[in-house]
């Protein structure tokens, strides 16, 4: 049987603290490049994001979130960044 429960809503333009990328605690921005999944903690709780990331050449990674567990069309674009104060953060 297919789960028909809708996922919790993601707040647009809110920052999500990244707790995992590819199943592990993040240590470098390049871990978000290519096909990847990450877990973010934000205003509506924990969310899992699937998609494709690429170096934006400004010290960030552009992450194109996809629907259907990372294989469908783009849902939104996240900018993933790192600061010593905040750690790894994704915001759209």
- The answer to whether residue 91 scores a pLDDT higher than 90 is yes
Other residues' Cβ atoms within 10 Å of the Cβ of residue 36: 18
Q: 50 to each of 6, 32, 42, 58, 83, how far by Cα in Å?
A: 16, 10, 16, 22, 23
- The answer to whether residue 4 scores a pLDDT higher than 70 is no
Beta-bridged to residue 48, according to DSSP, are 39
**Which pTM does this prediction carry?**
0.85
15-49 pLDDT per residue, tens: 999 999 999 999 999 999 999 999 999 988 999 99
């Amino acid at each position: 049987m297919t789960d028909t429960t809708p996922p919790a809503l993601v707040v647009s333009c809110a920052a999500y603290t990244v707790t995992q990328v590819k199943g592990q605690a993040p240590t470098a921005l390049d871990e978000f490049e290519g096909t990847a999944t990450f877990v973010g903690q934000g205003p509506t709780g924990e969310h899992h994001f699937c998609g494709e990331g690429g170096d934006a050449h400004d010290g960030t990674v552009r992450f194109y979130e996809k629907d259907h567990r990372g294989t469908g069309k783009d849902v939104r674009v996240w900018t993933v960044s790192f600061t010593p104060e905040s750690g790894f953060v994704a915001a759209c």
